[in-house]
Every structure is written in structure tokens, then in C-alpha cells.
Structure 1
Amino acid sequence: MIKKGIRRQIVLHYFLVVFIALLLVEVIFLIAIRTYYYDTVYNHVSNHIRLSNEFYQPFRVTSSDNVNQLSEMVRHFELYNTELQILNTSGQVLTTSAGFDLEQTIKTSDVTQALAGDTSRWVGKQPGTGQIVMAVSQSIQNGFDQTYILRYVTSLDLINDRLLKLTLFAVSIGAAVLAIVLAFSIGLANSIVKPINNITTVSTQMAKGKFNVRIKGDYKYELGELSSTLNYMAQEIVRSNQVKDDFISSISHELRTPLTSIKGWSETLDSGGYDPEETKIGMQIIAKETDRLIGLVEELLDFSKLQQNEMKLVKGIVNLRELLQEIILNLWAKAEKKGVTIKLESEEKPIIYGDANRLKQVFLNIVDNAVKFSHENGVINLYFTMEEKFVTVTVRDYGIGISEEHLRRVKDRFFQVNPLNGGTGLGLAITQQLVELHGGTMEMESELGHGTSVIVKLPLPEGKIPVAGGLENGEEGMPGPTV
């Protein structure tokens, strides 16, 4: 007995479908065979009656001698291996080809319909013997306008024996087919259930935290996709855990360094006895490290808000050219130390509708990365490309570049190409999500040793744009800033 489960359901469904189909086919087949045999007998007798009647009519007995008439009719109409009964219109048997005087009245349906002028048949048990017979009856006219009923009675035992053998043969074939289907359905069910059981076992281990296990087996179709997906999920969880551990280690180091400096200088200044110049240097270091801590904490808070969809944008009119010029000024000192030149090459003045502070955060992070990874005395190019509904801002540097392997993951959260450079690994992840909140996209193209291009595409506002002193290219304004 197959226990409850998918295996039993598959086997039962296949078995029932094939069983019902076979049953219908065999019933229809046996009914058709039975009808064919019975119709063959009926047609044979009917044709005999028609041909005998055509031959007999010109030589009808005109004598009033009833006995001679009946004998003549039996001689002309009798059929081999069939009993011929001649009945009067009341259904009484007058004579038979078997020579027995039955002295009975027959009221079966074939006799009744024969009186109405039709040739009809009746199948049933012969009174007295209980034998299954077919009776075919038809009325004919004899001399002196006398009407008789010719009733042929033939046994169906031989035909029924053949039908029984055909039935047993069909049932045997059906049983063999069902046995094959049962074996096939069990094999099919096992081919589905065994992989599912394997996947379930491995999934249970994964649920217990054993992400080093993998589903083994070359499964096809949906089961193969499911096993591949679960293996990929486990791989990603392991990678995510590793990234999380690396992030905790990195952020702990990032927090410990400024805190150590702050604590050290605080204790030093608290002890007193230092000249004003050293005190000033100490306070500058404390202020610098404090700003660094604030930046780290704000980055973590921004990421948390983005993950929980709690980031709110305060939208307004933003002049991208002015925004980028401000960013260049903010990073001028850092770029100057490496001899890096930042150039804004385009003359366009694209106006968009967005959150100026968040967009500044986006481009500040991108340009800052470009400065960080540029070679000394390098160049960073910034330029716009205007389209019908979008403006594209490209930041291109010619620095160290990013390998193809790292380029696919560089926008992942907590990922750092070089952990020794410091940071949380959240900068580009936050930047991309902020761009997407503005309805834009961010793409990166890079070649190791040849630099990197960051391409930010932002939507242009529909309609006219309000600017200082009036409207930009029209008279209709846009709604005010929204949150």
C-alpha cells in the first residue's frame, strides 16, 4: 500500500484516468461488436425474407386448402439452421419448420410490429428452454387476401459465446495495460517525489542554519530550477553573512580609530600643562574625528531608512550645473592634495525637480570616489547629455578602475573592493537607491587600469519649470515642493 502523499496522488490519478478511458473504450467496443453480430443475423434473415417473397409471389397458392398453403409457405421460406414459424394475425402459431405443433399464441414486440407492416426483431429467452434467441418477423399476403406472419427464430448461443471470448480478451488486454500504467506511474511518481524528498531534507538543514549543504543531483525542468534556486539562496546567505561579518569588523575598526583619538586627546587635554598650540591641534583632531563619526552614523541611518522605505524627499527646483559646481568646490582641497583636476565640460544648465540635499549627497559620493581612486595629477570629467525626457550626468575618471568581478558587486551593500580604504561599503548602495527614488537609474562602466564612468540618468520634469525671475521656456508653473 502506497502511503499518503504526492506519490499516491500521482499513481491514483494516472490509474483512474487510464482505467476510465479503457472502460469507456471497451464498453463502446463490445457494444459495437454485439451490435455488428446481431445486425448481421437480422440482415441475413431480412434479406432471405425479401428474396424468398419475391420468388414466392408469382406462385402463390390460390387454393383454399389451408394445410397445403402452409406447407407450401414453409417449403419456400424456410432458412437453414433457423426455425420458421407461421402465425396468423392473432399471433397463434399455425405451423413450424421443426414440425412441432406448439399450439401457442405469441405476443412479442416483433409480431406486433410485423402486423403494422414492418420487419422487426426481438431478442430474449425462448419460453420453455430459456435459450437466448433472436426472432425476426414480417407479414406477407397469401391467396384470398390472407395475411400470415413469418417468424424466424435463431439461437444466439454461438454468437454470445464469441462475444464472451472477445469480452474476456478485451478485459485481459485492459488489465495488462493497467498493470503497465501502474508500473509507469509509480516510476514517474518516484522520479518526482525522490528529488522533492532530497530537496526537503536539504532545505530542513538550511533552515537549521547549515548553509554549507547543497542539493546534489542533475534534476530537470522545475525541480532543477528549484534546486538551483535553493543552492543559490544558500550561497547568497553565506556570502551575505560573510559580508555582514566583514562589515561588523570594518565598522568596529572605523569607529574605534576616531574614538581612540578623541579619548586620547581628551585625556591629554584634561591633564593640562600644554601650550596653546598643542591644545589647538588636539581640539582640531577631536573635531575632525567627531565629524568622521557623525558621517559614519548618518550613513548607517540613511541606509536604515532606505531599507525600511522611510526616506522622505523634499522636492524642489534643482539646477544641476550649480549643484555640480558646488560639489567641485567642496572637493577642491581634497583633489588639490593629489593634483587631481575636476572639469565640468558641458555648457547646458539642466533643471530638474528633486531633493537638492539628497542629489548633492549622490554626486558628492560619486565625485569623491573618483578623486579617491584617481591617479596623482589625474583628470575627472563631468558632463551632461540631454535627451527628450531625461538628463544624463556622467562622471568619468582615469584612475585605477574596477575589475569585472568586482564591478558586478560594487553596488551591493557592505561590499568594499579594498577594505583597507576604510568606510562602511554602503556609499554606492545608498547612492543608487537615492537615484531610484528620484525615478532615475545609475550605471557603472569600468576597466581595470583605465578608469571608471558613473552614469546617472534623471527624469526631466514635464511642463514648464519655475526659475528665478519667471518661467523657463513658458508661462505655466509647476507645483511647489513636496515631501
Structure 2
Amino acid sequence: MIKKGIGRQIVLQYFIVVFVTLFMVEVIFSLAIRVYYYDTIYNHMSTHSTWASDFFQKFVRLNAERDPDYFTEMLRTFELDNTELMILNRKGEVEASSNAFQADKAIQTSDVSQAAAGSVGKWVGRQPSTGEMVMAVSTPLQVRGENRFIVRFVTSLEAVNSNLMKLSLLSAAVCLAVLALVTLFSIGLANSIVKPINNIRAVSAQMAKGKFESRIKGNYRYELGELAATLNYMAQEIVRSNQIKDDFISSISHELRTPLTGIKGWSETLTLGGFDPEETKLGMGIIAKETDRLIGLVEEMLDFSKLQQNEMKLVISRVNLKELLQETMLNVWAKAEQKGIQVKLEDRTVQNITVVGDGNRLKQVFLNVVDNAIKFSNENSWIHLVVSRTEPEKVLVEVVDTGIGISEEHLNKVKDRFFQVNHQGGGTGLGLAISQQLVELHHGEMDIHSELGVGTTVSVKLPLAEPEEEDLESTDTTGESAVSAGDGPDNKSGPDKEGEMR
């Protein structure tokens, strides 16, 4: 007995379809073979009755007046095996018969009445005297154009019906055999579907319990194969995400422990007292710096949490993109100076570029991108911020560096949350993930192209704001600004003739 489930449903549906089909075939076959046999018998007797009628016409013309026993000649000439030949008058009374036992009453079956009316009659029914199934065929016999007599052939159908029953039983046995084979086949088919499903279900149950190392084994085809591959891929991604999460916890623990250690050490040291003002100022500066670092880490995680829960609120306004990029360059100036990296802004547009968005969040995006470029660039190299118009309604900002680059293996994962190419580089691994989502909140796009050992280009495409009159005025002739090692805020000069910030 097949237990309840999809296997039973498959077998039951196959069984019903095949059973109904075979039943219809059996019924049609039985009716067709019965009609064929009955028509063959009828055609045989009808042909002989027509011959008898033609013979009677000739015989009457030649001998009727001189030989009143012409019925005897007809019975002898046209008698068939296993068939009774009768000559009736119009009233259905038997005038002559090949059977020694003649009916004592007139025959009133439909074939006789049809023959009396001038047509060939057929009747199938039970013989009143014997109760057996018979077929009767009657044809009128004419004398001088008048229907005077009827020739009637009667044959038993018992043998035919017996043969028909045997054929029906044989065909039914064949149908049952076919039904049994189809049922066995459907059980095998159901098992071929149910077993993989049960296997997939069992492995899925293990995954639900946290055993993500489990994998669905077997080369399944079609949808089942796709389902198995999807679940295996899901488990693989969960394992990878868990590993990334573990790495993140380890990394963030280190990131938090380092500034906390500095804060704790200097606070305990300063508590002892006895330091001159310079040393106290140095210690307080370190505490403030490490505190800012902690605040930055916490804010980064809070930003990511808000983005994941769709709770990030943007303060929308018109933002001058060039000014925002210049501010970004000033913010990273000190870090770039330490490595001797020159950061240059190259504006390829002929007018001020204005976008609609949250200036602080957009600045956060570019700060993160440029900061990464500095972190992974070699000393005494350069970073270009290129602003251009590639589409009528959009502006493209490219941050191009000549740093260490990213391998193809890691390139598709760098924007994943918690992912870090170099875990010793510090950070939470959330910067690019946050930047990606912030850009998308501004209806923009962010792409990363990189080649290991050559450099990386981060492209940020943003929609332009509706133009206003002040946006149409050009404010820079060369479109080029730079912050380079050795130059910085201490140099109080403003932009020179070439538009460079020194």
C-alpha cells in the first residue's frame, strides 16, 4: 500500500486515466466486433434470401401452374447450414420449413411485417419456443407483381454470442494486464520523483537545524535538479555569510578593542597625575582621537542597520557636486599626505553640476570610496576624481587610483556586507555596502572595475537636478583641482589661476 503523498497521487492519476481509456477501448471494441459479426451474418442471409426471391420469380413463371410443390425445391436449393429456412404467407403462417417442427402459430416478428410491406426485414431476439437468441431475415416473394409469400432465414446467435463473450473476456484480460503494467510503471515513476523529493526534504530539515554543511547529493534532472542546486547554493551562501559574519565579529572586536585599550590606558595614566601640560594634552588628544574612531565605527554599524530596515532618512536639497568633492578631498588631505599621494579633481563639464540629494550622505559615499583608494594605493601615487556627463540627465563621478587592485575572485564580493579583501586592513567591511545602498537611495548606480596590480576605478552615476539659472554660469575655466602631498590647509592661499587648491 502506497502511503499518502505525491506518490499515491501520481499512481492514482495514472491509474484513473489508463483505466478510463482502456474501459472506453473495451466498450468500443466489444460493440464494433458485435456489429461486425451480426452484419456479416445478416449480409450472408440477406444475399441468399435475394437469390431465393429471384429463383422464386423464375420458378413461378415456368412451373407454378403445373408444379404446386415448388416450395420444396426452394427449401432444398437455398437451405443453409445451421439455419432454418421458412416459407410464410402474408399472415405469417408457415407454408413450408426446413425444420421438421413447424410453428403452430403465425409469426408476428418485425422482420415478417417489413417483408409483407415489400422490404427486406431483420429481427434479432429470443425464439419464443426455445428461448435462444436468433437473427431472422425475411424477404418478400412476388407472384405477378404481388407480394404473396415470404422467405425467412432464421439462425441461432448463441455460438456467435459465446465467441463474442470469449473475445470480450480476452480483451478485458489484456486491458487488465496493461493496467497492471501501467500501475507498476507509475509506481516506479512516482518513486523516481518521490525519492529525490524525500532526499531534498531530509537535507532541508538538516539545514533548518543549522547543519549547513549538508548537501543534496545525486544528479537529478529538470526542476528537481534545479531545486537541489538552488538549495545547495543557498547552504553555500549561508555558510559563506556565516563565515563573513564571524570574520566581521572578529574584526570589529579587534577594531573596538584597540581604541578602547588606548582610552583605558591613557585615562588610567592621567588619573595618576604628575604629568606636565604637554603630556596631558597629548594623552587627552589620543583619548579624543580614539573616541572619534569608536564613534565612527558605531555610526557605520547604525547606518547599515537603518539601511537594512529601510529607516534611513535623507535630507534632500540641491547639492553642488564639485564643491562636495572638493570638501571630500580636504577631509582626506592629511591621510593622503602621509603616503605622498596626490588627489586631483578633474571636471570635464562646462558648468556647475547640481544633483538633488542628501549632501552629507553623498559626501559619506565619496569619503568612503576615496578613503579606500588611499588605503590601498602605493606611496607617492595619484588618485583622480573625474566628473563627466555621459548621459543627458546623469553625471558620472569616477574615482581612479593606481593601487594594488582587486582580484577577479573578490571583485564581485567587495560590495557584500562584512566582506573584506584584507582583514588586517581594519574596518568593518560595511563601507562599500553602505555606499552602494546610499547611491541607490539617490536613484543612482555604483560600479567597480579593477585589475590586480594595476588599479581600481569606482564609478558613481547620479541623476542631475533640474537646471536653474545659477547652474548655467561657468565658475571654473580649467576644471582641475588638486590636493597633493606637501600641500594642505596650512597653506592659506586660495585657488590659483589654474584652479588648483594648494
CA drift of 1:146 comes to 4.1
Letter aligned with residue 96 of structure 1: S
Residue aligning to 1:480:
none
Residue aligning to 1:240:
241
Change (3 A) 1:466 1:94: farther
CA contact (8 A) 1:6 1:193 kept: yes
CA contact (8 A) 2:395 2:462 kept: yes
Residue aligning to 2:362:
359
2:459 aligned residue (455, 459, 477)? 455
5 Å-filtered alignment, 1:26-425, equals 26-60=26-60, 68=69, 70-71=71-72, 74=75, 78-143=79-144, 145-348=146-349, 349-383=352-386, 384-425=388-429
Residue aligning to 1:465:
467
CA contact (8 A) 2:53 2:151 kept: no
CA contact (8 A) 1:250 1:423 kept: yes
CA contact (8 A) 1:443 1:455 kept: yes
CA drift of 1:358 comes to 1.6
In structure 2, distance between residues paired with 1:107 and 1:309: 96
Change (3 A) 1:342 1:144: closer
CA drift of 1:300 comes to 0.7
In structure 2, distance between residues paired with 1:285 and 1:406: 35
In structure 1, distance between residues paired with 2:122 and 2:100: 23
CA drift of 1:82 comes to 2.1
Q: Deviations over 1:164-212 (max 9, x none)?
A: 3322321232222222212211211221122222222222222222222
Partner SS for 1:121: strand
Partner SS for 1:60: helix
In structure 2, distance between residues paired with 1:276 and 1:66: 165
Question: How many residue pairs align between the two structures?
Answer: 470
| Residue 440 (structure 2) pairs with residue 436 (structure 1) | yes
Change (3 A) 1:323 1:157: same
Change (3 A) 1:142 1:408: same
Q: Percent identity?
A: 64
CA contact (8 A) 1:465 1:471 kept: no
CA drift of 1:129 comes to 1.9
CA contact (8 A) 1:94 1:101 kept: no
Partner SS for 1:345: strand
CA drift of 1:374 comes to 0.8
CA drift of 1:254 comes to 1.2
CA drift of 1:367 comes to 1.1
Letter aligned with residue 33 of structure 2: I
CA drift of 1:305 comes to 0.9
Change (3 A) 1:67 1:92: same
Letter aligned with residue 459 of structure 1: P
CA drift of 1:417 comes to 0.9
In structure 2, distance between residues paired with 1:393 and 1:326: 15
Q: Deviations over 1:195-251 (max 9, x none)?
A: 222222222222222222222222222222222222222222222222212211211
Unaligned runs of 5+ in 2: 475-502
CA contact (8 A) 1:94 1:103 kept: no
CA contact (8 A) 2:346 2:384 kept: yes
CA contact (8 A) 1:379 1:398 kept: yes
Deviates more, 1:309-318 or 1:417-426: 309-318
Letter aligned with residue 395 of structure 2: V
In structure 2, distance between residues paired with 1:274 and 1:66: 165
CA drift of 1:432 comes to 0.8
TM-score between both structures, scaled by the size of structure 2? 0.87
In structure 1, distance between residues paired with 2:346 and 2:180: 81
In structure 2, distance between residues paired with 1:66 and 1:393: 128
Letter aligned with residue 84 of structure 1: L
CA contact (8 A) 2:53 2:140 kept: no
CA contact (8 A) 2:86 2:96 kept: yes
In structure 2, distance between residues paired with 1:441 and 1:119: 93
CA drift of 1:67 comes to 6.0
Q: RMSD of aligned C-alpha atoms?
A: 2.5
Letter aligned with residue 411 of structure 1: K
Unaligned runs of 5+ in 1: 473-483
In structure 2, distance between residues paired with 1:137 and 1:388: 99
In structure 2, distance between residues paired with 1:319 and 1:116: 112
CA contact (8 A) 1:352 1:460 kept: yes
CA contact (8 A) 1:53 1:77 kept: no
CA contact (8 A) 1:313 1:355 kept: yes
In structure 1, distance between residues paired with 2:459 and 2:52: 103
CA drift of 1:78 comes to 4.3
Residue aligning to 1:427:
431
Change (3 A) 1:120 1:280: farther
Partner SS for 1:3: coil
In structure 1, distance between residues paired with 2:17 and 2:114: 44
